[in-house]
Amino acid sequence: MKVKVKNCIQCGRLFVETAGAICPGCFHLLQEQEEQVFRFLQRNGGHGLLEQIIAATGVPKSVVIDMLKRGWFQGEYSVEYPCERCGSLISDGKLCPTCIRFVRHEVRGSANTDIVTTRKNRFHSWEDRHKKK
CB of 87 to Zn ion, least distance (A): 7
CB contact at 8 A, 48 and 80 = yes
For residue 19, give the 3-state DSSP assignment. Answer: coil
DSSP lists the bridge partners of residue 86 as none
11 makes contact with Zn ion (CB under 5 A) = yes
**H/E run at residue 79:** strand 78-82
63 makes contact with Zn ion (CB under 5 A) = no
> Which of 8, 49, 65, 68 forms a contact with Zn ion (CB under 5 A)?
8
116 makes contact with Zn ion (CB under 5 A) = no
CB contact at 8 A, 83 and 90 = yes
49 makes contact with Zn ion (CB under 5 A) = no
CB of 82 to Zn ion, least distance (A): 8
Size of interface with Zn ion, in residues (CB under 5 A): 10
91 makes contact with Zn ion (CB under 5 A) = no
> Which of 36, 44, 46, 85 forms a contact with Zn ion (CB under 5 A)?
85
CB contact at 8 A, 22 and 33 = no
Residues 15-34 that bind Zn ion (CB under 5 A): 23, 26
| Cα-trace Rg, the chain | 26
